[in-house]
C-alpha cells in the first residue's frame, strides 16, 4: 500500500516534471545564411539540448540591423544571441560564459 503523509510528499517533490515549453528559455539569434560563428553557436546550444532558436536572418531582413544595433549597443557582427531578452553577445561570448559555468543557469539547467 502506498504510504501517505509528509514523508511520501517529500519524496514526490524530488521528482522534477519535464520542462514544459513555457519553462524553456526564449533564445533569439541574429544571423546570416553563411556564418561559421552562427553555426558554432547553434551547435553549442544544441549540445546543451536547445534546438528551438528564433533566428532573425539579417540577410533576408536587412532592416532589422537597426533593431539589433539598438538591442546590442552597436554590435555589427553575427551571431548576436539573446536569452530571455538578455544580450549574451556573439559566439565568443557564449563560449566564455559556458566555460565560466554561467551559461547553464541562464538556460535554466
Ligand atoms: N567574435 C565574433 C566574431 C563574429 C564574426 O566575425 N562574424 C562574422 C560572420 S561569421 C561577421 O559578422 N563578419 C562581418 C564583420 O566582421 O563585419 C563572435 O564570436 O561572434
Residues in the chain: 109
The whole domain housing 72 covers 28-107
pLDDT tens figures, 43-92 = 999 999 999 999 999 999 999 999 999 999 999 999 999 999 999 999 99
Closest residue by CA, ligand 1 atom 9? 35
Q: Which residues line ligand 1 (CB under 6 A)?
A: 35-37, 76-79, 90-92
Closest residue by CA, ligand 1 atom 17? 77
Q: What is the mean pLDDT of the chain?
A: 88
Q: How far is the CA of 22 from the centre of ligand 1 (A)?
A: 31
d(CA 72, CA 78) in angstroms, rounded, equals 11
The residue behind cell 532573425 is 56
Residue 36 lies in a domain: yes
The count of domains in the chain is 1
DSSP per residue over 30-99, as a string? EE-SS-HHHHHHHHHHHHTT---EEEEETTT-TTHHHHHHHHTTS--SS-EEEETTEEEESHHHHHHHHH
The answer to whether residue 16 scores a pLDDT higher than 60 is: no
Report the CATH number that the domain containing residue 97 is assigned in CATH. 3.40.30.10
β pairing state of 27-31 and 80-83:
antiparallel
pLDDT of res. 7: 53
Q: Report the nearest atom of ligand 1 relative to the CA of 92.
A: 19
Amino acid at each position: 500500500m502506498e504510504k501517505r503523509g509528509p514523508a511520501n510528499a517529500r519524496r514526490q517533490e524530488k521528482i522534477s516534471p519535464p520542462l514544459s515549453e513555457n519553462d524553456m528559455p526564449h533564445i533569439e539569434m541574429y544571423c546570416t545564411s553563411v556564418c561559421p560563428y552562427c553555426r558554432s553557436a547553434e551547435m553549442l546550444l544544441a549540445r546543451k539540448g536547445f534546438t528551438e532558436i528564433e533566428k532573425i536572418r539579417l540577410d533576408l531582413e536587412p532592416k532589422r540591423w537597426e533593431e539589433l544595433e539598438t538591442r546590442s549597443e552597436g554590435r555589427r557582427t553575427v551571431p548576436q544571441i539573446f536569452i530571455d531578452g538578455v544580450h549574451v553577445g556573439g559566439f565568443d561570448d557564449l563560449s566564455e560564459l559556458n566555460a565560466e559555468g554561467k551559461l547553464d543557469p541562464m538556460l535554466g539547467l
